[in-house]
Amino acid sequence: MLWFGIVFCESSGPRLVHRSGNDDGLVELAARNALFDRRAIRFIGFLREGFPVNVLGQVKSVPEVCRIYCATANAVQV
């Protein structure tokens, strides 16, 4: 099963952060990352027990998606 946590950040008004997913830890991780900079519209997602290549095509097909900064099955340190 693919576990995920995603958030969507609004850039106007109160700058709300909408969250969803089927793993509370990944949802919280995405929400914490979203709070670093809420000046822009952002969509942040984390996956576990799945591969980004399985969902990357669907994410890129969304017209509002401009850039994808990182998609990897390997550990990443920023």
**Domain locations along the chain:** 3-60
Residue 71 CB neighbours (<10 A): 15
**Residue-by-residue pLDDT tens, the chain, 78 positions:** 889 999 988 877 788 889 999 999 999 999 988 887 766 778 888 888 887 777 888 888 888 787 777 777 777 776
The fold of 3-60 is hypothetical protein tt1634 (3.40.1520)
φ and ψ of 74, to 5 deg: -100, 160
Place of tokens 């969509």: 43
User: DSSP per residue over 1-61, as a string?
Assistant: --EEEEEEE--STT--EEEEES-HHHHHHHHHHHTT--SS-EEEEEEESS-HHHHHHHHHT
